[in-house]
């Protein structure tokens, strides 16, 4: 409620005041330094950062626990027989593709096509499960994951009663161009599970076979990309970033042919399936395709459905509902991207079909966390133009939101269409406010100082010049004492800070930082370090770690997958095994030459 009100005020203010004056903020995110604007922000300072929506209690919850009255009762199910999925509501709400056969085609006038997953031909092995997803989100006792029924379920070999597997028709703008119909080319929505908190989770298999939307694809996913998705979606969750979750990862011996780097070197790989869980899998592209093909009534139906299911704070009968919805997505998307930036995460393929309507991270492909700080970091090595480089993500977010705005236009009257444009113009401010909040927390700063943006930009510039490690610079600043900083006593243990300290301006920046810390009221150095350690992870899912775990996995050794899973579950806590594995050490030299696999 609060956030919507804030957004409305912004719109109202924009209409009242000289618009241009409000928009001078410009493209602050385009490079690291020098573009941070000052002033005119105070009226927005009350915009609260939404709480992490990746945990059960977020604002997307359909019902509060208390409404259902059994929040304290442990209702974990230990047999699949007493556990239920349903596709009923989706089927009742939307027309289904009338064609039942599974062949690639253009589809119209529907949201879903019903398609069964294709089971693997060979034996399937369970590689990993997320106990938290299985128990806390899905109410299943984790012991169930040892059963044949569970493995069959998560590998698409058996479909539960009540479940009608669906594949979703969507479109999207890829790399700046309208791509027409895309859709779930290798994913099956098994159904919805409403858990004991009343939260609705949509379960989706990825890698489960061909669909009407497979285009040229074979409907499969390989082990390496599935390991990456499984580990990274869970890692982002424990960093507090809204994301889809991963319940399980299975691998088969079915051969899947992939030309990993699109260089003609086709290899036999193993097919794998991740069971992914999200509150909704609708994307910006879900709306775009309906607008593009003139299916306005279906578009309205879908948006109203989404509002009712996922935006309970919006009055679904109000004439401003579509605007309120857009406003919320603008806010949530700016927050998500600022959050990515705060941990150095680059999604890699920010096409409109990979942007969730609930602004959670989805579709993990050639993503990457940057090691040394570089705003030009591009995780997808085939993205030569660097369209989706890390420093361009906020821009691309606005581009995508603009496509969403256009998709909503058929539902808006001319006045509302103008208002939607104004709402989008508030995006740079929303983004910058959130970006600043995250980075102030990363530096342990309280309150407001006019020079905070400068202090942050200055540090990023030093990091860029010295190629200091992004994650560990902030972490080491969280661990080192003010006294050590003051006397410039930086031991080997703080290797990222040692790198940074090579910059001739380092001590100047340190002086500014120490002065600013003195302005924190009611603070102690110990309290600062504790606070900063909970804002700056010690472990992130670096590409070299993924590569190392994948190499072993391809030889049936999943030990490093499990170690990473365990480590990334507590990214802010120092852990012995993780230290021994070098997860907080300087990345190995070969990490710099790593290319992220593109064909997944």
**Chain contacts with ligand NAG (rule: CB under 6 A):** 82, 84, 86, 162, 172, 174-175, 182, 315, 317-319, 349, 351, 353-354, 363-366, 380, 382-383, 598
Least spacing, CB of residue 349 vs ligand NAG, in Å: 4
Tracing tokens 């970006």 back to the chain, one arrives at 435
Taking each helix axis from N to C end, the angle separating 2-16 and 321-343, rounded to the nearest 10 degrees, works out to 100
Nearer to ligand NAG, 480 or 596 (CB): 596
Residue nearest to ligand NAG (CB): 365
Tracing tokens 């609260």 back to the chain, one arrives at 48
Nearer to ligand NAG, 212 or 366 (CB): 366
Nearer to ligand NAG, 143 or 382 (CB): 382
User: In angstroms, rounded to a whole number, what is the distance separating the alpha carbons of residues 472 and 470?
Assistant: 6
Least spacing, CB of residue 208 vs ligand NAG, in Å: 14
User: In angstroms, rounded to a whole number, what is the distance separating the alpha carbons of residues 146 and 126?
Assistant: 8
Nearer to ligand NAG, 170 or 458 (CB): 170
Nearer to ligand NAG, 383 or 479 (CB): 383
CA-based nearest residue to 344, from 442, 248, 466, 231: 442
Tracing tokens 């030309």 back to the chain, one arrives at 259
∠586-371-362 over CA atoms, to 5°?
A: 135
Are 476 and 459 spatial neighbours (Cβ–Cβ below 8 Å)? no
Selecting among 139, 184, 324, 353, the annotated active-site residue is 353
List the structure tokens of 363.
Answer: 């579709």
Least spacing, CB of residue 86 vs ligand NAG, in Å: 5
User: In angstroms, rounded to a whole number, what is the distance separating the alpha carbons of residues 250 and 270?
Assistant: 10
Tracing tokens 């086709």 back to the chain, one arrives at 266
Least spacing, CB of residue 335 vs ligand NAG, in Å: 21
Least spacing, CB of residue 394 vs ligand NAG, in Å: 19
Nearer to ligand NAG, 233 or 248 (CB): 233
How many other β-carbons are positioned within 10 Å of the β-carbon of residue 5? 12
Torsion of CA 377, 225, 337, 464, to 10 degrees: -20
Are 143 and 150 spatial neighbours (Cβ–Cβ below 8 Å)? no
Whether 265 sits among the annotated catalytic residues: the reply is: no
Nearer to ligand NAG, 420 or 598 (CB): 598
User: In angstroms, rounded to a whole number, what is the distance separating the alpha carbons of residues 250 and 209?
Assistant: 14
Least spacing, CB of residue 362 vs ligand NAG, in Å: 8
Q: Which residues, in sequence order, are CB contacts of 418 under 8 Å at separation 6+? A: none
The DSSP result for 246-267, as a single string, is: EEEEEEEEEEEEEETTSSS-EE
Nearer to ligand NAG, 33 or 80 (CB): 80
Contacts 24+ apart (CB under 8 A), 30-37: 30/391, 30/392, 30/395, 31/375, 31/391, 32/375, 32/391, 32/457, 32/460, 32/461, 32/464, 33/457, 33/458, 33/460, 33/461, 33/464, 34/457, 36/432, 36/453, 36/454, 36/456, 36/457, 37/432, 37/453
Are 386 and 372 spatial neighbours (Cβ–Cβ below 8 Å)? no
Cite the DSSP H helix spans in 443-582. Answer: 452-466, 470-479, 482-486, 495-501, 506-518, 525-533, 543-553, 559-569, 576-580
Least spacing, CB of residue 345 vs ligand NAG, in Å: 14
Least spacing, CB of residue 68 vs ligand NAG, in Å: 14
Q: Which residues, in sequence order, are CB contacts of 93 under 8 Å at separation 6+? A: 301, 305
CA distance to 125, 154, 258, 268, 597, per residue, from 253 (Å): 9, 16, 15, 10, 20
Nearer to ligand NAG, 366 or 368 (CB): 366
Tallying the residues shown for the chain, one arrives at 600
CA-based nearest residue to 587, from 539, 551, 553, 532: 539
CA-based nearest residue to 254, from 287, 219, 282, 286: 219
Nearer to ligand NAG, 13 or 89 (CB): 89
Which residues carry out catalysis? 353
């Amino acid at each position: 409620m609060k956030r919507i009100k804030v957004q409305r005020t912004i719109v109202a203010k924009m209409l009242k005041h000289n618009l241009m004056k409000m928009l001078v903020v410009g493209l602050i995110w385009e490079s690291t330094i020098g573009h941070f604007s000052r002033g005119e922000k105070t009226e927005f300072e009350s915009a609260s950062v939404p709480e992490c929506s990746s945990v059960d209690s977020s604002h997307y919850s359909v019902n509060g626990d208390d409404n259902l009255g059994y929040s304290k009762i442990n209702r974990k199910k230990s047999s699949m027989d007493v556990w239920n999925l349903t596709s009923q509501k989706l089927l009742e709400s939307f027309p289904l593709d009338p064609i039942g056969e599974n062949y690639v085609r253009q589809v119209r006038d529907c949201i879903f096509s019903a398609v069964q997953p294709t089971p693997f031909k060979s034996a399937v092995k369970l590689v990993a499960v997320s106990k938290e997803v299985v128990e806390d989100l899905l109410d299943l006792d984790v012991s169930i994951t040892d059963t044949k029924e569970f493995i069959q379920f998560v590998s698409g070999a058996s479909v539960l009663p009540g479940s009608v597997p669906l594949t979703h028709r969507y479109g999207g703008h890829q790399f700046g161009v309208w791509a027409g119909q895309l859709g779930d080319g290798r994913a099956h929505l098994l159904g919805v599970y409403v858990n004991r908190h009343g939260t609705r989770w949509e379960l989706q298999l990825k890698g489960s076979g061909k669909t009407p939307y497979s285009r040229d694809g074979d409907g499969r996913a390989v082990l390496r990309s599935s390991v990456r998705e499984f580990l990274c979606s869970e890692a982002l969750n424990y960093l507090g970033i809204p994301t889809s979750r991963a319940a399980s990862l299975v691998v088969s011996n079915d051969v899947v042919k992939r030309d990993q780097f699109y260089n003609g070197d086709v290899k036999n790989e193993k097919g794998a399936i991740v069971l992914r869980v999200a509150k909704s899998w609708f994307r910006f592209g879900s709306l775009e395709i309906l607008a593009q093909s003139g299916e306005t009534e279906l578009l309205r139906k879908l948006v109203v459905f989404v509002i009712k299911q996922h935006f309970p704070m919006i009055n679904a009968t109000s004439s401003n509902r579509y605007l309120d919805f857009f406003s919320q997505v603008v806010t949530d998307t700016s927050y998500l991207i600022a959050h990515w930036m705060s941990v150095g995460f680059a999604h890699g393929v920010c096409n409109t079909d990979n942007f969730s309507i609930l602004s959670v991270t989805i579709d993990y492909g050639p993503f990457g966390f940057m090691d040394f700080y570089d705003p030009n970091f591009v995780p997808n090595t085939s993205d030569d133009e660097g369209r989706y480089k890390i420093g361009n993500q906020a821009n691309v977010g606005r581009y995508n939101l603009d496509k969403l705005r256009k998709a909503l236009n058929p539902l808006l009257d001319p006045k509302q269409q103008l208002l939607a444009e104004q709402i989008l113009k508030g995006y740079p401010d929303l983004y910058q406010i959130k970006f600043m909040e995250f980075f102030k927390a990363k530096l342990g700063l309280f309150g407001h100082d006019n020079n905070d943006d400068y202090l942050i930009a200055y540090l990023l510039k030093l990091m860029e010049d010295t190629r200091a490690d992004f994650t560990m610079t902030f972490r080491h600043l969280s661990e080192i004492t003010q006294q050590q900083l003051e006397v410039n006593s930086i031991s080997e243990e703080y290797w990222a800070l040692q790198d940074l300290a090579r910059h001739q301006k380092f001590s100047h920046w340190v002086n500014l930082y120490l002065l600013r810390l003195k302005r924190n009221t009611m603070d102690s150095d110990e309290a600062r370090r504790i606070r900063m350690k909970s804002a700056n992870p010690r472990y992130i899912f670096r590409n070299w770690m993924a590569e190392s775990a994948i190499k072993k996995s391809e030889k049936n050794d999943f030990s490093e997958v499990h170690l990473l899973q365990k480590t990334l579950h507590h990214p802010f806590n120092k852990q012995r095994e993780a230290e021994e594995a070098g997860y907080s050490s300087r990345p190995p030299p070969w990490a710099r030459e790593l290319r992220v696999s593109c064909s997944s």
